[in-house]
């Protein structure tokens, strides 16, 4: 492969910076010091590590930035961790992680994809996000790719004249993927050799507020507590969190409810709509002092189970629009004077805005 300087370095760095800034939207101001856990094989924060550290000794700043884009696109597409490793190894072989505008015949970009073979235009294929997306789309169509040797899976997509060449990059790709995802080993996420267990992901640990409370999401109030909804009063506030924002336990406690609340014929795995009824996927947490909090409209089954102890700031699930919902947001409730076994109702709810301000973790974007 060539060692000529990459093109589009600034574009790659800007793109990954913007992407990572977007990933940070919705994280609370007051977060807990202990690590919080995500769902098995769930999304994991992507970082742009400095060259020269663990997993990055062979790569310069632009190459690491390109690798982070490849990993981030895979995360967005919900590609299993093994696929992230295959993609990195492929780009290592094809372009040494350089976004080049030349190659064999009309090949260009990180994956040396060819416009003449229907991969896209030159402009598209020299956009790292587009190129990575095209690679993953093709990989996911390969039957049994997760159980193949890395080089066989890559070759099934690339149709290279040197089909064994990708295998030599597996160790480097494993190390770089783990560094970008901030895990000790890619095996923790099921990204290593076929058959590796799928371990838990991890959201960033975050400091707790002075009163032991944390914003469940960092987002503005879009509907207030007590609002007249015709057939009921609004027992919480709606916080305008985007889809898949991590929802965190507002304080330490024990999970008392973790389930779907929507008509059985609709369920919670499909977005709801106004008038459907129900909280969607939701979690209740009981805290000290007979205080309880509720978190509604998650996009998928919560990460926590009934009876589980959670820390302030621990991720309970991801925001969505399940149940009686007009769009992605978090419906958040606070209840006082609720002894064990007592139901959460509007009558024992309090205004979360005033309550959270009083405990040192004010709501807001």
Residues 70 and 154 in one domain: yes
How confident is the model at residue 237, as a pLDDT?
97
Q: What is the pTM of this model?
A: 0.49
Residues 278 and 156 in one domain: no
Assess if residue 209 is contained within a domain. no
How confident is the model at residue 22, as a pLDDT?
35
How confident is the model at residue 231, as a pLDDT?
81
Residue 45 vs residues 24, 56, 348: alpha-carbon distances, Å? 9, 18, 37
In the chain, count of helices (H) and strands (E)? 8, 12
Assess if residue 246 is contained within a domain. yes
Parent domain of 174: 9-203
How confident is the model at residue 206, as a pLDDT?
58
Strand partners, 260: 281
Residues 198 and 225 in one domain: no
Tokens 């290592």 belong to which residue?
92
Assess if residue 4 is contained within a domain. no
Contacts of 136 (CB under 8 A, 6+ apart): 73, 74, 77, 79, 83, 87
Residues 187 and 295 in one domain: no
Dump pLDDT digits (tens) for 178-192.
899 887 777 766 665
Rounded to 5°, the CA angle 153-54-314 comes to 85
CA within 13 Å, CB half, 290: 10
Residue 3 has pLDDT above 70, yes or no: no
Give the residue with greater pLDDT, 118 vs 32. Answer: 118
- What domain count does the chain have? 2
Across the chain, mean pLDDT equals 83
Name the residue among 16, 72, 364, 3 with its Cα closest to residue 219.
Answer: 364
10 Å CB burial of residue 58 (0-12, 13-18, 19+) is middle
Give the residue with greater pLDDT, 136 vs 200. Answer: 136
Assess if residue 364 is contained within a domain. no
How confident is the model at residue 203, as a pLDDT?
58
Dump pLDDT digits (tens) for 144-154.
898 899 999 99
Question: The domain spanning residue 195 has which CATH number?
Answer: 1.10.530
């Amino acid at each position: 492969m060539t060692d000529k300087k990459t093109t589009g370095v600034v574009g790659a760095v800007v793109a990954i910076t913007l992407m990572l800034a977007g990933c940070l939207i919705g994280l609370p101001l007051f977060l807990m010091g202990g690590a919080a856990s995500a769902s098995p094989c769930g999304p994991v924060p992507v970082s742009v590590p400095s060259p020269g550290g663990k997993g990055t000794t062979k790569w310069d700043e632009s190459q690491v930035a390109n690798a982070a884009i490849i990993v981030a696109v895979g995360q967005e597409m919900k590609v299993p961790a093994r696929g992230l490793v295959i993609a990195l190894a492929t780009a290592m072989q094809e372009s040494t992680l350089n976004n080049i505008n030349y190659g064999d015949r009309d090949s260009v970009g990180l994956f040396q994809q060819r416009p003449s073979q229907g991969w896209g235009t030159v402009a598209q294929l020299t956009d790292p996000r587009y190129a990575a997306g095209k690679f993953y789309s093709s990989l996911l169509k390969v039957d049994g790719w997760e159980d193949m040797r890395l080089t066989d899976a890559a070759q099934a997509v690339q149709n290279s004249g040197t089909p064994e060449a990708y295998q030599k990059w597996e160790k480097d790709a494993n190390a770089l993927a783990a560094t970008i995802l901030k895990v000790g080993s890619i095996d923790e996420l099921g990204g290593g050799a076929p058959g590796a267990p799928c371990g838990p992901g991890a959201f960033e640990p975050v400091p707790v507020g002075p009163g032991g409370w944390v914003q469940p999401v960092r987002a503005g109030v879009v509907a207030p507590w007590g609002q007249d909804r015709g057939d009921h009063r609004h027992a919480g506030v709606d916080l305008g969190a985007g889809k898949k924002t991590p929802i965190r336990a507002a304080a330490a406690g024990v999970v008392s409810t973790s389930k779907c609340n929507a008509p059985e014929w609709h369920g919670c795995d499909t977005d709801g709509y106004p008038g459907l009824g129900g909280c969607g996927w939701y979690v209740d947490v009981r805290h000290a002092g007979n205080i309880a909090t509720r978190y509604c409209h998650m996009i998928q089954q919560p990460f926590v189970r009934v009876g589980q102890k959670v820390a302030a700031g621990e991720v309970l699930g991801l925001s969505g629009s399940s149940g009686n919902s007009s769009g992605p947001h978090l419906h958040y409730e606070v209840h006082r004077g609720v002894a064990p076994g007592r139901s959460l109702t509007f009558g024992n709810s309090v205004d979360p805005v005033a309550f959270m301000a009083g405990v040192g973790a004010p709501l807001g974007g």
